[in-house]
């Protein structure tokens, strides 16, 4: 890798960090938490797109571009970074256009990967990218975030489940289970595509699909084995299995009834998937992804358990608040979700400074 390429990757991650900071502050304002420093009303309104398109969409685009190892593929993360700049300026329509370009480039990357290797996981990633492109196109044409949010969630779910299927090939999986997960993934993609044109009952079917995929993960993911190993494997596996648990909760909430365009049930269904599943997966995989994508070393240290625990504990309080109608619990849980991100940054820099896990203590005598 050239120095310019590494600089580009790290530059994209810096832009993503700015988007994450603004998105978190915007989320707290939307959760009615008073802040000493708050972003402007445009950025607060764009909390969802900043996180979905700006942060995680761009990180996935970068990771896929690195996997393909072709120069043109960097169009996807670079267009994502441009979308972040436009979102931060509060220009949502040009930002949506840049996000669409990024998603189309991600589709092209996935087509190239499928042509290299035709497998269930490459096909599901392609399906996820197509959904992202369709959702971004609709958003650009003026559709509201609640209309496109189910398809955005499906993009994340398909991409992450595909990554897990790829890794879980290392564990013996019955042939019927491998076929089942492909069928479920394609059903989720179809329901998500329909949700863009006719939300009901497609979003409920999408929820049922998420629930089924979560149960598959909990039964067949490699994490079920690695959770018994000490250190990084156990930490990652815990994040993956807890994330799958939240995907089941989110799927169940979506399947229960029509998704309202705002309010507690909207908050609960969206964040069970986007915080409980997506953010937990990011915490779980960061020590593996950061060195591969940006040559940033992140050795495992037990302190990394703290942010994971704060994330999941906070989300449980937040959803309980959403479901029983307690604004105080909802605010406390939302604050804990934001603090989990801060705690992750602190834990990661501690792990880097100390060079990883604790040295085993000498036995006295
Ligand atoms: C980390 C702390 C977070 C906080 C405090 C937070 C807070 C909120 C709040 C209060 C809402 C409004 C819900 C309602 O209508 O009642 C919201 C909406 C939303 N959030 Fe978050 N959120 C967080 C993380 C995330 C993450 C990680 C993602 C994406 C990966 C995300 C994506 C969204 C989306 C797409 C919406 C819908 C926005 C809209 O309809 O305009 N949030 N969030």
d(CA 52, ligand 1 centre) in Å: 9
Closest CA to 130 of 213, 192, 180, 85: 192
The residue contributing the CA closest to ligand 1 atom 32 is 48
316 has a pLDDT exceeding 50: yes
Q: Which residue among 30, 153, 280, 313 has the greatest number of ligand 1 atoms within 8 angstroms of its CB, and so is best to mutate?
A: 30
Residues in the chain: 365
Ligand 1 contact via 311 beta carbon (within 6 Å) = no
Closest Cα to residue 50, out of 6, 10, 8, 98?
A: 98
Q: Is 24 in the pocket of ligand 1 (CB under 6 A)?
A: yes
CA distances from 167 to 68, 222, 259 (A): 17, 7, 33
**Predicted structure pTM score:** 0.95
Say whether pLDDT at 99 is over 60: yes
| Predicted confidence (pLDDT) per residue in 114-173, tens digit | 999 999 999 999 999 999 999 999 999 999 999 999 999 999 999 999 999 998 877 788
Residue 30 CA to ligand 1 center (angstroms) comes to 8
d(CA 344, CA 356): 14
Given a contact cutoff of 8 angstroms between Cβ atoms, the answer to whether 153 and 204 are in contact is: no
Helix (H, G, I), strand (E, B) or coil at 63: helix
Q: Which two tokens stand for residue 3?
A: 């120095």
**Pairwise CA distance, residues 190 & 130, whole Å:** 11
Residue 365 has pLDDT above 50, yes or no: no
């Amino acid at each position: 890798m050239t120095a310019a390429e590494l600089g580009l990757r790290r530059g994209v991650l810096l832009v993503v960090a700015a988007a994450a900071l603004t998105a978190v502050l915007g989320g707290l304002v939307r959760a009615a938490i008073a802040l000493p420093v708050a972003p402007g009303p445009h950025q607060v309104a764009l909390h969802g797109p900043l996180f979905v398109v700006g942060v995680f969409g761009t990180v996935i685009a970068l990771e896929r571009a690195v996997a393909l190892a072709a120069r043109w593929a960097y169009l996807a993360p670079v267009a994502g970074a441009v979308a972040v700049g436009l979102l931060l300026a509060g220009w949502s329509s040009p930002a949506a256009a840049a996000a669409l370009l990024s998603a189309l480039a991600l589709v092209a990357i996935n087509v190239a990967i499928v042509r290299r290797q035709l497998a269930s996981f490459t096909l599901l990633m392609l399906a996820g990218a197509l959904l992202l492109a369709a959702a971004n196109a609709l958003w650009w044409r003026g559709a509201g975030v609640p209309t496109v949010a189910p398809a955005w969630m499906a993009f994340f779910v398909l991409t992450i489940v595909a990554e897990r299927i790829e890794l879980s090939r290392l564990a013996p999986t019955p042939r019927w289970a491998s076929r089942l997960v492909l069928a479920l993934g394609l059903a989720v993609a179809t329901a998500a595509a329909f949700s863009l044109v006719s939300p009901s009952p497609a979003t409920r079917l999408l929820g049922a699909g998420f629930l089924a995929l979560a149960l598959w993960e909990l039964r067949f993911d490699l994490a079920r084995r690695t959770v018994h190993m000490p250190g990084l494997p156990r930490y990652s596996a815990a994040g993956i299995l807890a994330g799958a648990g939240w995907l089941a909760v989110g799927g169940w909430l979506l399947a229960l009834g029509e998704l309202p365009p705002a309010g507690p049930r909207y908050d609960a269904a969206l964040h069970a998937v986007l915080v409980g599943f997506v953010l937990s997966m990011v915490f779980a995989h960061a020590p593996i992804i950061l060195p591969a994508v940006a040559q940033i070393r992140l050795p495992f240290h037990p302190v990394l358990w703290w942010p994971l625990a704060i994330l999941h504990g906070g989300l449980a309080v937040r959803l309980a608040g959403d479901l029983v109608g307690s604004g105080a619990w909802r605010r406390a849980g939302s604050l804990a979700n934001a603090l989990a991100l801060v705690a992750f940054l602190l834990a990661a820099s501690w792990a880097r400074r100390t060079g990883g896990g604790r040295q085993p203590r000498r036995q006295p005598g």
